Amino acid sequence: MNATQDQRLKSGEIIIWSCEDEELPELSFVLLPDLSILGEMTIGSDPHAKFMTTVEATISNSGVPVSDDFDVALVEDSRVIDIRTLPPLDSRGDTTVTFEWAAEDSGDHTIGIRIDPDYLVNERDECNNEVSTDVAVQEAATIKVPYDYPTIQWAVDNSTEYTIIYIGEGEYEGRVIITDRDHLKLLGSGEDIRIIVHGGPVGRARPNLIGIVGSSDIELDGFAAMVDSSSGGSQFPEGWRAINIQESEKITLTNLLLTHASWDDRCPLIRIEGSTDCLIADNFISGSRSPAGWAVRMATSGVLIASDNTTICRNMISNCQYTVKLQGDNNTVYANNLFFSEAGNSPENVFAIDAGHNNHWNSTIPRSYRYNNTTFVNYTGNYWDGWIAEDLDCDGIWDLPYNISDNASDYHPLRTPYAEEYALNIKSISLPNRIYTGQNNTIIAVVNQDSQRITDITINLTINSEVVKSREVKLIRASPDTFRFNWNPDKTGVYNISIGASIDDSIGSFTARRSLFVDVSEPPYNCSDNLTDALAFLRDKQTPGSGSIGGFSTTAWVMLAFSAGWEDSDIKTKYGRTSAGYLSGYPSIPYNDFVLATFEDCARTLLAISMLGDVDPTNFGNVNYLTMVKSYHDGVQFGDPTSVADDALGILALTACGDRSAAERIDKSRGYITS
């Protein structure tokens, strides 16, 4: 019926307006939502390639209420690149949606926002659901270390806004301080890139390995940051903060390997103070504990947040007096793997601390995760190692909250580590080409694991099903380690040699194994007397007070001779001095740097120390021999292009180290020799 001016509606009646000469629309059409973008879409100022900027729009509804959640998409050059799910929207209501967008390339781009991209909401008008605009994206400046500048600090000091610093493989000794900088990225390609300091700082200062002050939009990604001891552990790195951020905003720390060798609880691994909107994600973070034999049990402090609106997610944090301590407000902590460390003499030896307000120890929106080969969508908390409850619905989330304090709890604690997939591998077993009875034969195994934490591994050497030697070691994610065993068979015949690596902890229990068969023979001739005499002659030439045998270079060659003669390559004097100790300490003596002046010096020493077994070739006497040797490769061959002897030495040295990142250099040098 037609309504009058004084028409009074009864319950259930609806008024529909139309022009006088138009037909009334169908009621089913009128009773629909009508979502649209209100006003203009806004884009952050000065967009640059690979730097985040905001894209924002207001969504309004001029129809009946939208009763379910609905999607809004960010569109770049006609491609949907991000989606936000918004809650139901009332009639005549509006809401703001914000995206973060970083163009991969500079140039002209078309950016748009599209409501209901899959047409799941039945609307009155589907033609007003999208808005777009053309955006000119500028190119970011780039700096490559060490090619453009030899140090990271020098690169930072010479950077401008919207600069990306690409850090090349190697070890960079010294601090990196970023002050009053905006829109800066420091990007590495993996854990073979190390920013490191050794030993304690000078004086009473508490310096930062990496410090960020008064800056915004800074990203650190893809490298290792390490506070380490020096001189074989004699200089304790007490006093260092690993990463310290003050009075800054939008600082991102991702894909970092962060370690601290001090168990001083006043030195946090990460400290963020007076800052906002920071992100700590996908990092491996490990402190240190005082030795088990000490009466005092202490540990490094973990992640200290005295700031607001920080997100901490998908990190592994272990070996700390506390994993996370919140002193700010509105922070979110979820999907982290947190491992408690017993350090009873530290003042705050608890899993986590929350002294702030309105902090969330689980995700604030449901997220997808996998448990028992099944995908679930739920709010996700953190994994608290060793804490158990009940999981009656078998969804991988404990049914009881983990209580952090009187006013803070993780309401969705994870039953198993987040995204944890163990991959324990015996990468290789190496043996002499011929194995003889009555002699020490060296068996070399390379083992690595890809879990998100430092893992306790048992390595066994098994001969014909009998475990003859065993070692307990700790392995860091994706860092292969080389293990050497000596085997002296007393009988000829065919033997089954097996290397087994096993994990047995609160998370999982399994073994990786690799085997091969070898034929053991009698020695074709008896050279033991001559060999014994030769080694005795070399041992007699060792200087008792230093461990040297004929100087720095000759000592390395002698160590190789002892290894080839099935003897311990670390020759010891009657005063306890060793050849390895001499090699480690001699280059650090003032004016002795000449002993590492050539490629042969570096490669010979690297090959010698690789015979020692569990020695780190990236920090032997505070020298990174592995990186030094690799730096002599010009992309085709090592050292002098007129000689192949140095290429052979380089191949031997890198192969002995078991460094997987050197495979390309080894292959190219081998091709150079055969060409």
Q: pLDDT digit string (tens) for 290-306? A: 776 676 778 888 999 99
**pLDDT above 90: residue 116:** yes
- Tell how far CA 314 is from the center of its chain: 11
What pLDDT score does 129 carry? 92
> Cα-flanking dihedrals φ and ψ of residue 364, to 5°?
-90, -5
Q: Residue 570: which pLDDT band, with cuts at 50, 70 and 90?
A: low
**pLDDT above 70: residue 596:** yes
Who wins on pLDDT, 221 or 663? 221
168-360 CATH: 2.160.20
Q: Residue 361: which pLDDT band, with cuts at 50, 70 and 90?
A: very high
Residue with tokens 């899993």: 351
Mean pLDDT of 173-198: 91
> Where does residue 323 rank: exposed (0-12), middle (13-18), buried (19+ CB within 10 A)?
buried
CA-only gyration radius of the chain, Å: 32
Q: Which residue type sits at 241?
A: R
What pLDDT score does 45 carry? 82
The CATH class of the 28-137 domain is mainly beta
Mean pLDDT of 460-470: 90
3-state helix, strand, coil in the chain (%, to 5): 15, 40, 45
Who wins on pLDDT, 333 or 658? 333
Mean pLDDT of 571-593: 75
Q: Of the candidates 444, 447, 500, which has an alpha carbon nearest to the alpha carbon of residue 478?
A: 447
Token code pair at residue 263: 């168990």
Residues 121, 60 contacting (CB under 8 angstroms): no
Mean pLDDT of 642-647: 88
What pLDDT score does 246 carry? 96
Strands 424-430 and 435-436: unpaired
**pLDDT above 90: residue 101:** yes
The H helix count followed by the E strand count for the chain is 9, 42
Token code pair at residue 291: 């030795």
DSSP 8-state code for residue 25: P
**424-521, superfamily in CATH?**
Immunoglobulins (2.60.40.10)
**pLDDT above 60: residue 503:** yes
Q: Where along the chain do the CATH 2.160.20 domains lie?
A: 168-360
DSSP string computed for 235-281: B--TT-EEEEEES-EEEEEES-EEEE----TTSEEEEEEEEES-EEE
What pLDDT score does 14 carry? 56
Residues 6+ apart with CB under 8 A from 212: 178, 179, 218, 243, 244, 245, 246, 248, 251
What pLDDT score does 479 carry? 60
What pLDDT score does 575 carry? 62
Mean pLDDT of 23-49: 79
What pLDDT score does 526 carry? 63
Q: Which residues of 576-609 are buried (b: 16+ CB within 10 A; e: fewer)?
A: ebbbbbbbbbbbeeeeeeebbeebbbbbbbbbbb
Q: Report percent pLDDT > 90 for the chain.
A: 40
Which element (helix H / strand E) includes 70? strand 70-76
Who wins on pLDDT, 387 or 453? 387
Residues 621, 609 contacting (CB under 8 angstroms): no
Which element (helix H / strand E) includes 559? helix 552-564
Q: Where along the chain do the CATH 2.60.40.10 domains lie?
A: 28-137, 424-521
Q: Residue 452: which pLDDT band, with cuts at 50, 70 and 90?
A: low
Of the candidate ranges 357-366, 383-392, 478-487, the one whose mean pLDDT is the lowest: 478-487
CA pair distance 267, 303, nearest whole angstrom: 10
Residues 6+ apart with CB under 8 A from 322: 301, 302, 348, 349, 350, 351, 352, 353
Token code pair at residue 62: 């001029």
Who wins on pLDDT, 618 or 528? 618
Cis peptide before 523 (omega within 30 of 0): no
**pLDDT above 60: residue 204:** no
- The SS3 of residue 606 is helix
Q: Which residue type sits at 221?
A: D
Mean pLDDT of 171-189: 94
What pLDDT score does 480 carry? 65
Of the candidate ranges 213-222, 293-302, 406-415, 570-579, the one whose mean pLDDT is the lowest: 570-579
Q: Residue 668: which pLDDT band, with cuts at 50, 70 and 90?
A: confident
**pLDDT above 90: residue 252:** yes
Q: What is the mean pLDDT of the chain?
A: 85
CA pair distance 73, 114, nearest whole angstrom: 5
Token code pair at residue 615: 């020695």
What pLDDT score does 548 carry? 86
